[in-house]
Copies of this chain bind each other. A is one copy, B any other.
Amino acid sequence: MIVLPEMVNKLTLFSGIPEADKKTMLEAGHIRNIRRGHTLFLHGEPVAYFYIVIGGTIQLFRVNQGGDEKTISLIEPGQTICEDEILNASGAHRLNAKAVEDTVLIQFASSWLRDNARKYTSLAFNLLNLMADHSHEFEVEAEQQATMSAAQLVACFLQKLCVLHKLDPRGYKLPYSKTLIASRLGMELETFSRALTKLRQHGITIKGSRVSINNPSLLRQYVCNSCSITDECPAYKAIHGICVCDWQGLPKGKRD
């Protein structure tokens, strides 16, 4: 018998399902360990499993013609992988996945997800919720990529890191390599590095992998100015706790 970590039981994905049923459901899962740098699956392979990350980090990425990786997202403990690919008709992985560090996950046959979503309305609903949130995050990110400068993107990333990982903004360590972060932000390593330099003038200092955000105005809750209706942007706040969409510490199009 497998002892599932307590956190899996508490996932909102399984909320609304009777405890007994949940227990049975989760017993179908198998623990899997992926060594740092090893591959979980590749683009084009058939979609066989649904995964829940328990420890470590999984990188989802594409490889373009030139051979370099573009990171789509980084999956952390408590998050899931492949729900969309399973629920989609295509049947093949659309991304590559590998472990950034030694990673532990639980895997379920993909039919497990489909069958249980059919059986438990709550699960189907939680999945709908999850996917709606994802696609919203994606929209926001796409807009930011298009609108903001490299330095702004980096600043937002560092801020979000604090909020989501509950780090102390006064001084924390980057959880990933700079190369990985640059790839995650869709920029070249050199651009990322130069962005860090610029941020020093705005109260964000980075030495090695040690970050500290000293500009107090970067730490309070933001109110979104870019909304067309009111001064507040509840949608953003609901998801991120902060409203990063209007971080304007670095006006665009201005020389240093």
Type the 1/0 row for A74-109, where 1 means its CB is closer than 8 Å to any CB of B.
000000000011011111111110000000000000
- Knowing A233-B44, A235-B94 touch, does A87 contact B132 (C-beta < 8 A)? yes
Q: Does A227 sit within 8 A of B, measured CB to CB? A: yes
Task: Judge whether A20 is part of the interface by a CB distance below 8 angstroms.
Answer: no
Chain A contacts with B in 36-89, Cβ cutoff 8 A: 42-45, 62-65, 70, 72, 84-85, 87-89
Is the C-beta of A217 less than 8 angstroms from some C-beta in chain B?
no
Are B125 and A89 in contact, with the CB atoms below 8 A? no
Q: How many residues of A contact B (CB 8 A)?
A: 58
Encode A227-256 as 1/0 by CB contact (under 8 A) with B: 111100111001100000010100000000
Residue of B nearest to A229 (CB): B44
Q: How far is the CB of A115 from chain B (nearest CB, A)?
A: 11
Extra A-B contacts (10), CB below 8 Å, given A91-B234, A128-B131: A44-B227, A44-B235, A70-B143, A72-B139, A84-B131, A88-B132, A92-B235, A93-B235, A96-B228, A138-B142
Query: Which residues of A does B touch, CB under 8 Å?
Result: 42-45, 62-65, 70, 72, 84-85, 87-96, 117-118, 121, 124-125, 127-129, 131-136, 138-139, 141-143, 145-147, 186, 225-230, 233-235, 238-239, 246, 248
7 A-B pairs (CB sep. < 8 Å) = A44-B227, A63-B228, A87-B128, A89-B133, A89-B238, A142-B142, A145-B145
